[in-house]
Amino acid sequence: METAQLTTARPAPAVPARRDWSALFAYLLISPPLLVLTLLIFIPAAQAVIETLSTTDAATGQTTLTLQNYIAFFQDPILVANLEFTIQITIATVALLFVIGFPLALYLRFSKSRIAAAVQVLALFPLFVPGVILSFALIEFLGSHGMFDTMLNLIGIQGYRTPYQHLQGIVIALVWENIPFTVLILTAGLRQVEDAVVESARDVGANFWQIFTRILLPLSKRSAMIVLCLNIIGVFGAFTIPYLLGPAQPMTMGVSMQQTFNRYEDRTGALTQAVITFLFCAVVGVLYVRTITQPREGQR
C-alpha cells in the first residue's frame, strides 16, 4: 500500500493543449465532496461563530454585535466548572497517552520478536471496539464489585474505589480508546527514521539515551505533534465516553452541549458552548494544519 504523499508523486503534467479541459473535468469530479465539506462543516462552524456573537432586536429587526452569550457562559458557575472539568480531563488523558504510547511505539519500532507482534495486536485492538461497547465493558469491569475489584480481592487487596462516575473513569476510557491511534501515528513517525541512521550512531558509540534524544525525538517531532494536536481535539470533542462513564456533575463540554440542546432545548446556549470548544481547540487546530502542510524533513 502506497500512502498518499503530499509532496512527492505528483501526477505527470497533462498535455498542455488539453490542460484546460482536463482541469475543468477534475474540478467537476472533486466538487461533490467539497460541497458536502463546505455545507456540513465550514458553513455550520462559521454560522455558529457569527450567530453567538450577534443579537437581533425583536422590535426593530436590527442585528448587532454582542458578547452577551459568552458573558452569560462565563458567569454561570456550573458551565465554568464543566469547562474546567473538560480541560482537566484533556490534560490528564493526553499526558497519559504519551507516557504509555511513546514507550510502546519505540518498542514496536525496534523489536522484531514474536512478543512485539502480539503487543502490537493488543495495542491496536481498541480500534475495533466501538465507544458504546467499550463504555459498557468498562462499567462492568471497573464498577464496584466488578471483575477488576474481584481480581484485586483475590490477591488480597481490599478497599477498591471504582473510577466509574468519576473523572478517572473518563480518563481511563479515553486513554483506552486512543491508544491505537497514538501508537499507530508514533510508530509511523519512528519508521521514517531509517535503521541505518540508528545503527551508524550505535557504531560510533552512542548509547540508547543519546540515540533517543538526539535522533529519534527530533525526527519524530512531526508525528508527535500530530498525536498531541489530534488527541487534544479528540478529547475536547468527545461525547460517548464522558456521557456514559462520567459523573452527573460536573459534565464535560460535549455532554453539557448535548444536554443543553436535547434536554433544555436552549439552542443558542448549546451553540455558545460549541464555539467555546472551537476556540479552545483553534490554537491546536492551527498547529495541526501547519504541521501537516509543512514538507517532511529530507523530502523537499
Segment 178 to 207, residues that bind another protein, using CB under 8 A? 181, 184-185, 188-189, 191
The residue (of 37 and 80) whose beta carbon lies closer to another protein is: 37
- Please select the residue that binds another protein; options are 81, 131, 215, 247, rule is CB under 8 A: 131
**DSSP structure string for 96-116:** HHHHHHHHHHHHHHH--SHHH
- Number of amino acids touching another protein (CB under 8 A): 120
Report CA Rg, the chain.
24
Binding mask 208-247 for another protein (x = CB under 8 A): --------------xx--x--xx--xx-xxxxx--xx---
277 binds another protein, rule: CB under 8 A: yes
The residue (of 195 and 200) whose beta carbon lies closer to another protein is: 195
- 194: nearest Cα among 212, 209, 216: 216
Distance of closest approach, residue 217 Cβ to another protein, in angstroms: 16
Which positions ≥6 away from 260 have C-beta within 8 Å? 266, 269, 270, 273
With the CA atoms of 132, 133, 135 and 137 taken in that order, what torsion angle do they form, in degrees rounded to the nearest 10? 160
The residue (of 93 and 223) whose beta carbon lies closer to another protein is: 223
Which positions ≥6 away from 110 have C-beta within 8 Å? 198
- Please select the residue that binds another protein; options are 82, 93, 178, 273, rule is CB under 8 A: 273
| Segment near another protein (CB under 8 A); pick from 10-18, 53-61, 66-74, 209-217 | 10-18
User: What residues between 21 and 40 interact with another protein by CB under 8 A?
Assistant: 22-23, 25-27, 29-34, 36-37, 40
Q: Give whole-number Cα distances, 11 to 2, 6, 292, 297, in Å.
A: 14, 11, 20, 22
- Please select the residue that binds another protein; options are 53, 87, 137, 215, rule is CB under 8 A: 137
